[in-house]
Each structure stands twice: as structure tokens, then as C-alpha cells.
Amino acid sequence: MSRAAVRPAPHAPLPGETIADAVARFVRTEIFEGRLVGGQRLPQDDIAESVGVSRIPVREAIIALEREGWVRVERHRGAFINALDEQAVLDRFALYGRFYGFAARRALERMSGEQRETLRRLALDLARPSGAKPFERANGAYMSTLVHFAGSARLRGVLRSTAQIVPGNFFVTVPKSIAIQRAGISALQAALDADDAPAAERICADMEHRHALEVIAVMHARHARAATAQA
Amino acid sequence: MSTHGRTLPRRLKRESSSEQVAEHIRRLIMSGELVKGERLRQEDLAEELGVSRIPVREAIIALDREGWLDFEANRGAHVAGLAADDIGDHYELRGLVFGLLARRVVETATDEDVKVLSALAAEMKRTADLVEFAVTNERMIRQIIRVAASPRLTAALLVTPAIMHHDFYEFVPTGRKNQEAGIAAFLRAVKQRSADAADTAMRTMLRRQGQAVLAAFTASGVVGGQ
């Protein structure tokens, strides 16, 4: 963590972010990059200093990070980092798989004919070849529309806390996931067109599991690099 | 803290004041006393509950993450709304998380773990007291969480929390029967080492609890009135 203090990092809040959001984003990156490790107590003062804020937004960030599974809070002892190991990644993506499967099922129950058409169009945008950034935009449009058409306030709430495990643009960091997502959404859209909710749930679970395996591979590579850099 | 005129057992973990405030607000939303779009008055809540502004603010941040409130720096906190569908969805989502926890239990439980879980299930069956049943059920859930040993799945339960605690089984008449049947099916699956069956048992149990909670709220006239 001492290294974090000397990194030239612009930790200012992005548009729409609160200071606490920016702190949470900083902590997620530190964990993903292996600079904060499982079991370690969250160094709240160092983090406040690195980001250039007071302790209050750090405390607020911890509330969000606890719900996202990055830290656990032990009363009177502080916050401790949860290990970002293979099991953690598998569990995280298993949750995603289930929540998106739930979105697909509810969308099938609740969306109008016009909405079905909108989703089909967005799926076609994803099928076109493109780089990581346009792909992320098209994918974001499809997924958020699917969640919107599911019409579930509770699902939106749960997804709010199922924050991404990979900081930044997922498809830049995990390039092999583009092919997985493209094939997965194509299969998902086919299941939706066929009104087949169980198939849609299986496809979502399977797609997210494949992402998990790619993320694990990327993490291993990064941690090996971080270990070399520190040696 | 006392419930129904009796003091809760000491082994029950005392919640922090922000957790208590959060539970209070969740319940006001669930019961329809706070309605969609309504602005939460932090000062009033703090005064009503006899706490400072800090735990109220922390509770609001937690409830924003859980999706019960929309909290924006300049607009304050507003209730995100609650409809009959939300109750069903909430329990369905909690079931999805519990289903994954159940899978991990099947993968990792030792014979000793199975014994402990079985003893707790027997204790749940034995008690005549609904509050004691709820407390034993909480111990059962903590045991499941311990055996599953997944911080990520445990965190997901924070976002799909139990809506009521010690008075759940008094408020929801078929709640106890659902819970006992669900836990029994789960334990059978664990003993047979069937992850699929354990998963299904939990999802079914939580879906039924969602239907029972909705029926109880509908009977008390606060949800689905139109």
C-alpha cells in the first residue's frame, strides 16, 4: 500500500460520482492490481491521503465496498480486505450469471412487443465486429435495456452493488471476453426470441462462468508482473 | 432491546446503530408507510430513533446501495418505491444467492458440519416459541454462511437482506412451515451431496417465503391495494 501514495494518480471523482464513489473505485483498483491483499486491514488513513480526502468519504466508501464483497467490517476492529482469489471471482460471476438470468426471465414475462423489437435491434449491434470500446458501449446498451425491460426495482438495486470486479473497461482488460460476450448475447437473444426462459438462464450462467475463467487468467498475469516489479 | 416483552438472548449479535436505522427504514418502505418518491427526513428520523445524524446518513448510503432509496448529494434521499412485484422479486433474488451458498455447502461440508446443521434443524423443529425459532434459524443461516466460506456470496446477502427478524414468524403465518420444510429439503440434499437439489431447495423455500410475505402484507392492507 505504501506504493499507492507515490503513484501519480488522478483520483478526482468522475462526472456523476461522489467523493466516496471515487474512493471506492480507488480501493477496488488497489485490490485488483494486488497492492491491497486479502486479510489485510484497510489502511483508511493512507487511502484518505492518497485520494486527498478526509476520513468521512472513506468510511462511506467502506459501506458500499462491504456490500460489494470487497471488504468485511468487524465491529471495533475496522475493515479487512476479502481475498480476490479464484473462488471470489467464480462466485462473483456466478452471481452475475444468476442476476442476468433473472433479468431475462422477468423481461420475457413483462416486456411489450415493441420492447422485444428494441432488444433484438440492440443484439444486432453487438454482432458487428468492433474494438473493445465500441463493443463495451453496445454491450452496455443491450444489458441495461434488458435490465430496464425486466421492470424490477429490486434487481436494479442488487446490480448496483454487484460492482464490476475488473476496474475500467472490462473488454480492454479482458480482451478474450469480447468473443464470449458476443456469442453469449447472440445465444441469449435466440432464447428470448424462442420464449425459452430456462435456456436464457443457462446461457447467462454459462457465459459469466467463461468470463470468470478469463478474469482469473488476467489476474494471474498481473500479479506475476506486480511481484516482479516489487522484487 | 426487547421484543415482545422479552429480552433477546445474549448470543444474538448486537447490531450497530446504523444497521438498526437501516432495518427500521426498510420496514417503513415494506409496510407502505414510506411511499415511492417520498423524501426521507434525516433530522426527523434521527430524533425519532434517538440517534445522531451519522448513523442515519450511513444507513441511507447502505440503503442506496441496496436499491431501497435513491440518494443524490444535492437532492437528498428518496424512496425508490415498492410494489407487490418488488416483494416477490426480493425473495426470488435472495433465493438465487442462497442457492449458490447451498451449492458451496454441498461442496465443502464435512461430516462434522452436517452434524451441526442437523442439530440446529432439530432444535428449530422442537421449539414452540416463534421468536426462539427465528433466533435458531438465524444461527442456522450463520452456520450455512460459515460452511460455504464465500465472502462474495455473503456480501450479496447484505444486499438481499431478510426484511424482518424476530417477529417474522408471527407476522407471516405460514412462514415457519415453509422454513422448516425448506431447511429439511436442503439438509437431505447436503447429505446426498447433491448441489442441484440443495440449490433448488433454497430457491423454492425463498420463493414460498416471498409469496407468504406478500400475502401477509396484502392481508394487513398495505401492498397491492389497487
Domain locations in chain A?
Answer: 2-83, 86-227
Tell which wins on pLDDT, B140 or B162: B140
Instruction: Look at residue B158 and tell me whether its pLDDT is greater than 70.
Output: yes
Instruction: Report whether pLDDT(A13) > 70.
Output: yes
- Helix axis angle for B53-66 and B151-159, nearest 10°, is 100
Superfamily classification of domain A86-227: GntR ligand-binding domain-like (1.20.120.530)
CA A193 to chain centre: 27
Residues in chain A whose Cβ is within 8 Å of chain B: 18, 20, 59-60, 63-64, 66-69, 72, 75, 82-83, 87-88, 91-92, 94-95, 98-99, 102, 106, 151-158, 160-162
User: Which grid coordinates are listed for A171?
Assistant: 473488454
Reported as type and span, the H/E element at residue B69 is strand B69-72
pLDDT for position A2: 44
Q: Residue B65 — very low, low, confident or very high, per pLDDT cuts 50/70/90?
A: confident
Burial of A199 from C-beta contacts in 10 A (0-12 / 13-18 / 19+): middle
Least confident range from A28-42, B87-101, B117-131, B153-167: namely B153-167
Q: What integer is the mean pLDDT of A202-219?
A: 96
Domains, chain B, ranges and CATH?
2-79 (1.10.10.10), 84-219 (1.20.120.530)
Question: Is the pLDDT confidence value at B13 over 70?
Answer: no
| Residue A176 exposed, middle or buried by CB count within 10 Å (0-12, 13-18, 19+) | middle
Contact A155 B65 (CB under 8 A): no
C-alpha to C-alpha distances, B225 to B61, B81, B214, nearest whole angstrom: 30, 15, 12
The Cα–Cα gap between A209 and A226 comes to 26
Residues of B with CB under 8 A from a CB of A: 16, 58, 61-62, 64-68, 73, 80-83, 85-86, 89-90, 92-93, 96-97, 99-100, 104, 150-156, 158-160
Mean per-residue pLDDT of chain B:
85
Using one digit for the tens of pLDDT, what is the confidence trace for A31-73?
A: 988 899 999 999 999 999 999 999 989 998 998 899 888 999 9
Q: Taking 80 as the threshold, does the pLDDT of residue A149 lie above it?
A: yes
Is the pLDDT at A21 greater than 80? The verdict is yes
Strand-pair category, B69-72 with B76-79: antiparallel
Q: What is the pLDDT of residues A73-111, one digit of tens each?
A: 988 889 999 998 999 999 999 999 999 999 999 999 999
Average pLDDT over residues B169-190: 94
Report d(CA A83, CA A85) in Å as an integer.
Answer: 6
**Probe site for chain A from B100, B159, B160, B214 (most A CB atoms < 10 A):** B159
Query: Who's near A160: CB < 8 A, 6+ residues apart?
Result: B64, B65, B66, B67
Task: Return the residue in A76, A106, A154 with the most chain B beta carbons within 10 A, the one to mutate for interface testing.
Answer: A154
Contact check, Cβ <8 Å, A98/B99: yes
Contact B147, B140 (CB under 8 A): no
Within 8 A by CB and 6+ apart from B208, the residues are B174, B178, B182
User: pLDDT tens, A179-204?
Assistant: 999 999 999 999 999 999 999 999 99
Nearest CB to A153; choose among B65, B67, B97: B67
pLDDT number for residue A61: 92
Q: What is the ipTM of this complex?
A: 0.86
DSSP letter (8 states) at residue A78: E
Q: Report the residue of chain B nearest A83, measured CA to CA.
A: B151
DSSP A135: H
Whether residue B167 has pLDDT greater than 80: no
Judge if A2-83 and A86-227 fold alike in CATH terms: no
Fold of A2-83: Arc Repressor Mutant, subunit A (1.10.10)
From B208, B213, B207, B184, select the one nearest B96 (Cα to Cα).
B207
Which of B153, B163, B147 is CA-nearest to residue A95? B153
| Chain B residues close to A92, C-beta within 8 Å | 152
Mention every residue, 6+ apart, whose C-beta is less than 8 A from residue B199: B99, B100, B102, B103
Contact B151 A69 (CB under 8 A): yes
CA distance B156 to B18: 19
Q: Sorting pLDDT into bands at 50, 70 and 90, what band is A150?
A: very high
